[in-house]
Amino acid sequence: QAELGKPQRNRYTLPGFDFSYGLYIHGTDGGVPEAISHWNTVKPRTDLVQKMPQDFITMNRSALKAGYTTAHEFNLYYKAKDKRCKDDKYSHLKRCPPKVPADFTYGITTRPSTPLFDLLQHKYKELWMEQQRALTAALQGEKKKVIILQHETRTTLLRKHPQPAKVESFWHLPRLEKVGPHLSTFPNPDVRKKAFSA
């Protein structure tokens, strides 16, 4: 048991001063003689080879051609003739090169030379100015059309000439319009007239 009020002591015995800690890697820690005398080759790992999935479409087609119809017969056929899907990663390397005519030239065609005569006459500036004039004329024509359409709408007409406000009248049943009151809380008709006139 640990002593009361003191930390627990370490009971492990450490090696001597000549002990070196760490792992010894064979082939790298031996220096130049070991590197020259040994060939460290990497062995291929079999678990990295990807197993392709089964090609059930091809197997089903060939099983039907062979005359199998039940599920049990299909399973037996899968075990007997196991066909895997083809790896499409490197299929472009297996393809033969495309057929190209004998006088075909690879590469990018050269750019046509710049017409210096058009540059000296400022032809590109004139073309750009014409395009800008045509664009502004088209925009102005569209604005005029929009303004004409706005004058013809009912909303703009009602804004200019608003209709008179309708007098709100409450709707009553026609048979109840001429019915007099059943209860009168005024002491006499004069007081009632005076109250309604106020």
Cα–Cα distance, 122 to 130 (Å, whole number) = 13
Q: Which residue bears the tokens 């309604």? A: 196
What residue spans define the domains of the chain?
52-85, 120-154
Neighbours of 64 (CB within 10 A): 12
- Tens-binned pLDDT, residue by residue, of the chain (198 aa): 667 788 777 777 888 888 888 876 665 566 677 777 766 666 766 654 567 888 889 999 999 999 998 999 999 999 898 888 877 665 555 666 778 888 888 888 888 888 888 888 888 899 999 999 999 999 988 887 765 555 568 888 888 888 888 877 777 777 777 777 778 888 888 998 998 887
The answer to whether 53 touches 85, Cβ cutoff 8 Å, is yes
Read off the tokens for 22: 């760490």
Tell me the backbone φ, ψ of residue 84, rounded to 5 degrees: -110, 155
